[in-house]
Structure 1
Amino acid sequence: MPIPSAMDFTNPYASARSAVLGRNVVSTSQPLAAQAGLRMLLAGGNAVDAAIATAMALTVVEPTGCGLGSDGFAIVWDGKELHGLNASGRSPAAWSADRFAGHGAMPDKGWEAVTVPGAVSAWSALSRRFGRLPFTALAAPAIDYARNGFAVSPVIAHLWALGGARLGEQPGFAECFLPDGRAPRAGELFRSEAHASTLEAIAESHGEAFYRGAVAQRIAAHARAHGAALTEDDLANHRADWCGTLAQPFAGSVVHELPPNGQGIAALMALGMMEALGIGNQPPDHVDTVHLSIEAMKLALADLHQYNADIDAMQIPPSALLAPAYLAERARLIDRHRAADPGHGAPKPGGTVYVATADASGMMVSFIQSNYMGFGSGVVVPGTGVSLQNRGHGFSLEQGHANQVGPAKRPSHTIIPAFAMHADGTPQMAFGVMGGPMQSQGHVQMALRVLHYGQNPQAAADAPRWRVTGGRKVAVEPNFDADVVRELAARGHEVTVERGNGVFAFGGAQLVYKRGDSYVAGSDPRKDGQAVAF
């Protein structure tokens, strides 16, 4: 099979890691989880089996980004067509705007931030439709890590300590995550028999125990004990939805994201504006390239904030936000030499973990799951290891807003998987950049580097990143070219060089690119992870 496109295998950036190549590959943010997925491929499983096993293991070995109480999304290339899965949960049926009257914003911790967790339903739905191995086999590595212990990795240990300081007083948190009264340090073994037992119940029931069985009953009982609204019926009524994808041509490829409630549409809008501007005449790290990317992203995020919501509640359809004429109109607002502080347009009506896997049959998976804000709500159901997300914080309290909090409704969501296809309809790349509001911005930067400039996935993951933070404000990493920083400031950008742990601010990328009969993978050095292959 001919190699479809040229790729630069040099890496001029900080980590100087080499890309990983193979015919079967897993890329994620924690090595033990990556190996869990690889074990499934070695056992005859496919890319979906590998993604699920990796995701299950991540709830154990990277609890700072996800848990059994996470939400999940996926894009799957099954060898013939692309499929999108939205397994994010909905708000409790008893939630209303009145319930949160007097709040300045939706709560970000405690039971009042918890919506129905969807990740377990994602695992089950993916396995039933595409999996090859028994569901119980997929859970085996995660159960082993939980029951027999694993050595905590360095970045995760740091995030664990920060999460414990913030959430240690939340119900059930200390019992589960602060053995001996503190977070485990890097290299220390951590065990959780409760987590292992719950994983076994999930595996043996194909997820039913979590939504309609013993685990669901324990979640709902804990909610009642703390005056929360979540009930057995809320859990039993949850469903994961096969939803297709939205697409945007870019650099001779087509980038796919899931429809709202996720923020992926913002990445597509920014890429569409960048295409309209003819971006790419200068190198990827040139000030002109960075400036136009930032300006397009700001316009897209303004529209995202105004319009994004549960797709059933959106007042403007996604197709209107992605209409070529609308994106060209928005692109015309961009001054090539001056930073702006844009508002939303008026289209005509019309703490996360990420996994990329691929196998020798051609199947590729882009999967993401998250508790949000690290450990999420901080609530952990006693005796279960179920740490619950805080996705309720994603709702708006603005009266009449499409994303206003309400009953049985999905909030606007930060986590998004992405996928790129060649223009001829063949698969090209599964990719994602975990990290809250950084995610759509990270997708834009990865797509630009790999699809437009031909950088290999590891170089793209290593490259310094920028992040729009509001108004004319933009943050950059310390290794950003100082001359570019000065030139951005001269154009009116209010630039902050952010030091410290890049995972918080600039996310963690994982990418798997199909190249002929094999794959090229990269894993972000800002996290503990790795790409593994054979």
Structure 2
Amino acid sequence: MAGAGGTWSPEDEAGRGPTIAAGGMVTSSSPVASQLGARVLADGGTAVDAALAMTAMAWLSLPGQCGIGGDAFAVVREPDGRVWTVNGSGYGPDGATAEGYLDEGLTALPMGGARAVSTPGAMAALHTLHARGGTRSLAELWAPVVTAARAGLPCTVKNRADIAEHAGSLAADEGLARWLLPSGRVPEVGDRLPAFELADSIEALAIDPLALYSGSLAEQAVALLRAGGAPFSGDEWALGADAPAEPSITARYGDLVLHQTPPPSPGWMVLQQAGLLDGQLLDLPTLGADAVHLMALAARRAFRDRYESCAADTDTWRTLLTADALAAARAGLEHQPLVAGGVGMAGDTTSCVAVDAEGRAVSAISSLAFTFGARIAIPGTGIALNNRLGRGAYLVPGHPNALAPRRKPLHTLNAWVLTDGSGRLRHVGNTPGGDGQVQWNTQVISHLVDGGLDPQAAVAAPRFTVHPGSDADALGAPETLQCETRLGADTLAGLADRGHDVRPCGAWGAGGSALVVSVDESRGVLAGGADPRQDGVALGV
């Protein structure tokens, strides 16, 4: 094995072949979610229908990672080649500013509680996704989720670990405690976790997803947050219902077109890394020291540029993707210092991918930000609220990402599709993982395009992570390169020789849960992969 010495090669993944299917395919980080998505496709639903169903099932199977009170992004490739996206993220309170919070004595936004919350965008995004591409009612698609919520899904190893880690915070919220700490204790693996209040909420929101943003449910949410010290007016909460479909942002990579989600998603950072690396890795051994060094430098450059100049409500990122800017940055990659004004990387998110028999493809990703978000729920609903504002906004007056009314915080979620020059689908994928996402997506895309790896080998390949990224919780943290030991001793030593502060993180410890479905046109099949770092499963129909 390469981890014991030498350098990793694709042959190290022998025996971990991709899932193959001739019709449609789904992949997610949860077996029960993948099973539901495959059933939707088998019953004649589209990839959009399958993604809507899988996203909702993940609210139960991965409750620490996503939920109604979080955010969601998606990219959709239509059978005719059109690609569009949807962004579901929201604002902080109208009454909050960086200067005002600093005057109160805060030095950073809290990571939990009311002041960490931004208006959730997930329901608005799913509403748009359904309106644009759904063929089945949400009530039909989410009925199995409601049934599962009332019966209670069995607690998994991951669920138990998440609940145990945050048991104190969960116990402080009556609604979350009723669901996740039955009988007042951390559940054992296999214990069922009924979510009766959440089941009622899902059933109601299936009829009107935008009811979260107006009426009694919105009033409850805003009252909870105001009582917790977050100066929401209610107007910014109502604006969360607006999640229009938008064109994807694109760049070339090799002979393919890479489609990404636009800001506040950091999809442009994947495009920037693609522009910096295009053609640079073809003649290098996959995941050898030279290739990893270049990819790490490209990631550092993206995080540096993001921190210095980019915000969710500006177009500064566009100037970074021009041919001249990429050429100048590429020429300086080897010489730039290994320093950046970045911050932490930890986070929790989940995602899914679906491709149907017509060639429609969806990459969807959703999150509460950190595990269980702000760890507070709208009373009586089971709806946990996110901590995206605490994670994404800076208390740095004058900074492009400083906390301000009607400014969305910077985000970590992004999703991608690769098509050929004629618009034909080649690959679709994503990964959760905080600020690791833009790095790991770039790595997986390179494995597919430069290395010619199949989807399963691409998502299972050794991973490395520039740390910190650009979250708001650890400004100025020491800069390291976290590497899985499967990269091999030669690669790790070579990276240290090139100036990286290499921190081994175990054979599979980098994090993430990458998912890919690829089109094998020569054989007329789909090939899918699910990251072995979590419980992911790819299923074909």
Q: Look up the SS of the partner of 1:92 in the other structure.
A: coil
Instruction: After TM superposition, give the deviation of residue 405 of structure 1 in Å.
Output: 0.6
Q: Look up the SS of the partner of 2:328 in the other structure.
A: helix
Q: CA contact under 8 A between 2:175 and 2:381: conserved in structure 1?
A: no
Verify: 1:146 aligned to 2:153, yes or no: no
In structure 2, the partner of 1:529 is 536
Q: 1:166 to 1:533 in 2, by over 3 A?
A: same
Verify: 1:133 aligned to 2:136, yes or no: yes
Verify: 1:487 aligned to 2:503, yes or no: no
In the alignment, the residues of structure 1 paired with residue 529 and residue 31 of structure 2 have an alpha-carbon distance, to the nearest angstrom, of 13
In the alignment, the residues of structure 2 paired with residue 231 and residue 25 of structure 1 have an alpha-carbon distance, to the nearest angstrom, of 44
- Residues 72-151 of structure 1 aligned to structure 2 (within 5 Å): 72-80=72-80, 81-101=82-102, 102-151=105-154
Q: Look up the SS of the partner of 1:86 in the other structure.
A: strand
In the alignment, the residues of structure 1 paired with residue 55 and residue 458 of structure 2 have an alpha-carbon distance, to the nearest angstrom, of 23
Read off the aligned partner of 1:377 and give its amino acid letter: A
Instruction: After TM superposition, give the deviation of residue 221 of structure 1 in Å.
Output: 2.9
Q: Look up the SS of the partner of 2:401 in the other structure.
A: coil
Instruction: After TM superposition, give the deviation of residue 486 of structure 1 in Å.
Output: 1.0
Q: 1:41 to 1:11 in 2, by over 3 A?
A: farther
Q: CA contact under 8 A between 2:71 and 2:88: conserved in structure 1?
A: yes
In structure 2, the partner of 1:520 is 527
Read off the aligned partner of 2:63 and give its amino acid letter: P
In structure 2, the partner of 1:69 is 69
Task: Give unpaired runs (5+ residues) of structure 1.
Answer: 1-9, 345-350
Instruction: After TM superposition, give the deviation of residue 285 of structure 1 in Å.
Output: 1.9
**Alignment partner for residue 279 of structure 1, among 273, 276, 281?**
281
In the alignment, the residues of structure 2 paired with residue 168 and residue 292 of structure 1 have an alpha-carbon distance, to the nearest angstrom, of 46
In structure 2, the partner of 1:4 is none
Q: CA contact under 8 A between 2:92 and 2:407: conserved in structure 1?
A: yes
In the alignment, the residues of structure 2 paired with residue 472 and residue 411 of structure 1 have an alpha-carbon distance, to the nearest angstrom, of 23
Read off the aligned partner of 1:210 and give its amino acid letter: L
In the alignment, the residues of structure 1 paired with residue 233 and residue 507 of structure 2 have an alpha-carbon distance, to the nearest angstrom, of 41
Question: Which runs of 4 or more aligned residues in structure 1 lie more than 6 Å from their structure 2 counterparts after TM superposition?
Answer: none
Instruction: After TM superposition, give the deviation of residue 334 of structure 1 in Å.
Output: 2.1
In structure 2, the partner of 1:511 is 516
Q: CA RMSD in A?
A: 2.1
Q: CA contact under 8 A between 2:412 and 2:435: conserved in structure 1?
A: yes
- Residues 350-389 of structure 1 aligned to structure 2 (within 5 Å): 351-389=348-386
Q: CA contact under 8 A between 1:61 and 1:145: conserved in structure 2?
A: no
In the alignment, the residues of structure 1 paired with residue 139 and residue 405 of structure 2 have an alpha-carbon distance, to the nearest angstrom, of 34
In structure 1, the partner of 2:471 is none
In structure 2, the partner of 1:409 is 407
In structure 1, the partner of 2:337 is 340
Can you list the C-alpha shifts for 1:409-435, whole angstroms capped at 9, x where unaligned?
211001111111113322222111100
In the alignment, the residues of structure 2 paired with residue 486 and residue 226 of structure 1 have an alpha-carbon distance, to the nearest angstrom, of 50
Q: CA contact under 8 A between 1:25 and 1:359: conserved in structure 2?
A: yes
Q: CA contact under 8 A between 2:175 and 2:382: conserved in structure 1?
A: no
Instruction: After TM superposition, give the deviation of residue 54 of structure 1 in Å.
Output: 0.4
- Residues 55-454 of structure 1 aligned to structure 2 (within 5 Å): 55-80=55-80, 81-101=82-102, 102-165=105-168, 168-169=171-172, 172-205=175-208, 207-238=209-240, 239-275=242-278, 278-311=280-313, 314=314, 316-335=315-334, 340-343=337-340, 351-393=348-390, 394-454=392-452
Instruction: After TM superposition, give the deviation of residue 104 of structure 1 in Å.
Output: 1.9
Can you list the C-alpha shifts for 1:455-483, whole angstroms capped at 9, x where unaligned?
01111111110000146520012322111
Q: Look up the SS of the partner of 1:413 in the other structure.
A: coil
In the alignment, the residues of structure 1 paired with residue 145 and residue 374 of structure 2 have an alpha-carbon distance, to the nearest angstrom, of 22
Instruction: After TM superposition, give the deviation of residue 448 of structure 1 in Å.
Output: 0.5
In the alignment, the residues of structure 1 paired with residue 507 and residue 169 of structure 2 have an alpha-carbon distance, to the nearest angstrom, of 18
In structure 1, the partner of 2:5 is none
In the alignment, the residues of structure 2 paired with residue 427 and residue 247 of structure 1 have an alpha-carbon distance, to the nearest angstrom, of 14
Q: Look up the SS of the partner of 1:519 in the other structure.
A: strand
Q: 1:494 to 1:170 in 2, by over 3 A?
A: farther
Q: CA contact under 8 A between 2:462 and 2:508: conserved in structure 1?
A: no
Read off the aligned partner of 2:325 and give its amino acid letter: Y
In the alignment, the residues of structure 2 paired with residue 142 and residue 229 of structure 1 have an alpha-carbon distance, to the nearest angstrom, of 34
Give the length in aligned residue pairs: 510
Read off the aligned partner of 1:282 and give its amino acid letter: L
Instruction: After TM superposition, give the deviation of residue 181 of structure 1 in Å.
Output: 2.2
Instruction: After TM superposition, give the deviation of residue 250 of structure 1 in Å.
Output: 1.1
Read off the aligned partner of 1:366 and give its amino acid letter: S
Read off the aligned partner of 2:74 and give its amino acid letter: A
Verify: 1:477 aligned to 2:484, yes or no: yes
In the alignment, the residues of structure 2 paired with residue 451 and residue 185 of structure 1 have an alpha-carbon distance, to the nearest angstrom, of 43
Q: CA contact under 8 A between 1:416 and 1:439: conserved in structure 2?
A: yes
Q: CA contact under 8 A between 1:15 and 1:525: conserved in structure 2?
A: no
Q: Look up the SS of the partner of 2:278 in the other structure.
A: helix
Q: CA contact under 8 A between 2:248 and 2:260: conserved in structure 1?
A: yes
For normalisation by structure 2, the TM-score amounts to: 0.90
Q: CA contact under 8 A between 1:366 and 1:418: conserved in structure 2?
A: yes
Q: Look up the SS of the partner of 2:447 in the other structure.
A: helix
Can you list the C-alpha shifts for 1:314-343, whole angstroms capped at 9, x where unaligned?
2x53321101111110111122xx883155
Instruction: After TM superposition, give the deviation of residue 366 of structure 1 in Å.
Output: 0.8
Can you list the C-alpha shifts for 1:118-148, whole angstroms capped at 9, x where unaligned?
1111111111111111121111121111111
Q: 1:91 to 1:501 in 2, by over 3 A?
A: farther
In the alignment, the residues of structure 2 paired with residue 209 and residue 395 of structure 1 have an alpha-carbon distance, to the nearest angstrom, of 26
In the alignment, the residues of structure 1 paired with residue 226 and residue 111 of structure 2 have an alpha-carbon distance, to the nearest angstrom, of 19
Q: CA contact under 8 A between 1:154 and 1:528: conserved in structure 2?
A: no
In structure 1, the partner of 2:344 is none
Task: Give unpaired runs (5+ residues) of structure 2.
Answer: 1-8, 342-347, 469-477
In the alignment, the residues of structure 2 paired with residue 222 and residue 72 of structure 1 have an alpha-carbon distance, to the nearest angstrom, of 22
In structure 2, the partner of 1:347 is none
Instruction: After TM superposition, give the deviation of residue 246 of structure 1 in Å.
Output: 1.5
In structure 1, the partner of 2:505 is 498
Q: 1:497 to 1:339 in 2, by over 3 A?
A: farther
Instruction: After TM superposition, give the deviation of residue 174 of structure 1 in Å.
Output: 2.5
Q: CA contact under 8 A between 2:114 and 2:226: conserved in structure 1?
A: no
Can you list the C-alpha shifts for 1:391-420, whole angstroms capped at 9, x where unaligned?
102011112111111112211001111111
Q: Look up the SS of the partner of 1:479 in the other structure.
A: helix
Read off the aligned partner of 2:418 and give its amino acid letter: A
Q: CA contact under 8 A between 1:223 and 1:231: conserved in structure 2?
A: no
